[in-house]
Structure 1
Amino acid sequence: MSTVRELLEEHGATYAEQAGIRLRDTPAPLYRLLVLTQLCAVRIRADTAVAAARELFAAGWRTPARMAGSTWQQRVDALGRAHYVRYDESTATALGEGADLVRERWRGDLRRLREEAGRDRAAIGRLLREVPRIGPVGADIFRREAQLVWPELRPFFDRRALAAAARLGLPETPEELAGSVPAGELARLSTALVRASLHG
Structure 2
Amino acid sequence: MGRDQRRTVRELVDAHGRTYAEEAGIRLKDTPQPLYRLLVLAHLLSARISASIAVAAARALSEAGLRDPRRMAGATWQQRVDALGRGGYRRYDERTATQLGEAAELLTERWGGDLRRLRDEADGDVSELRRLLQEFPGMGPTGADIFLREAQLVWPETGPLLDRKALRGAERLDLPGDRDRLLALAGKTEPAVLAAALVRAAVDKEVAEDTLDRVG
Relative to the length of structure 2, the TM-score reads 0.88
- Listed as ranges, the gaps of 5+ residues in structure 1 are none
Q: Give the counterpart of 2:67 among 39, 42, 62.
A: 62
Verify: 1:94 aligned to 2:99, yes or no: yes
**Residue in 1 aligned with 2:161?**
156
Is the contact between residue 32 and residue 115 of structure 2 (CA under 8 Å) also seen in structure 1?
yes
**Residue in 2 aligned with 1:172?**
177
**Residue in 2 aligned with 1:197?**
202
Is the contact between residue 41 and residue 137 of structure 1 (CA under 8 Å) also seen in structure 2?
yes
Structure 2 CA distance for aligned equivalents of residues 178 and 105 of structure 1? 36
1:25-64 equivalent positions in 2, closer than 5 A: 25-64=30-69
Relative to the length of structure 1, the TM-score reads 0.95
Q: How far did residue 178 of structure 1 move? A: 2.2
Is the contact between residue 10 and residue 186 of structure 2 (CA under 8 Å) also seen in structure 1?
no
Q: How far did residue 183 of structure 1 move? A: 6.1
**Residue in 2 aligned with 1:126?**
131
Aligned residue type for 1:134: M
Q: Is the partner of 2:118 in helix, strand or coil?
A: helix
Identity %: 62
Is the contact between residue 148 and residue 184 of structure 1 (CA under 8 Å) also seen in structure 2?
no
Q: Give the counterpart of 1:78 among 68, 83, 91.
A: 83
**Residue in 1 aligned with 2:208?**
none
Aligned residue type for 1:19: A
**Residue in 1 aligned with 2:117?**
112
Where do 4+ consecutive residues of structure 1 move more than 4 Å?
none
Cα offsets for 1:132-156 (capped at 9, x unmatched): 1110111110010001111111110
Q: Is the partner of 1:160 in helix, strand or coil?
A: helix
Structure 1 CA distance for aligned equivalents of residues 13 and 186 of structure 2? 10
Q: Is the partner of 1:179 in helix, strand or coil?
A: helix
- Listed as ranges, the gaps of 5+ residues in structure 2 are 1-5, 206-216
Q: Size of the alignment, in residue pairs?
A: 200
Aligned residue type for 2:175: L
What is the RMSD of the two structures over their aligned residues, measured on CA atoms? 1.4
Structure 2 CA distance for aligned equivalents of residues 140 and 183 of structure 1? 22
Structure 1 CA distance for aligned equivalents of residues 81 and 51 of structure 2? 18
Structure 2 CA distance for aligned equivalents of residues 156 and 171 of structure 1? 15
Mean alpha-carbon deviation: is it higher for 6-15 or for 171-180? 171-180
Q: Which of the two has higher C-alpha Rg?
A: 2
Structure 2 CA distance for aligned equivalents of residues 183 and 102 of structure 1? 35
Aligned residue type for 1:33: L
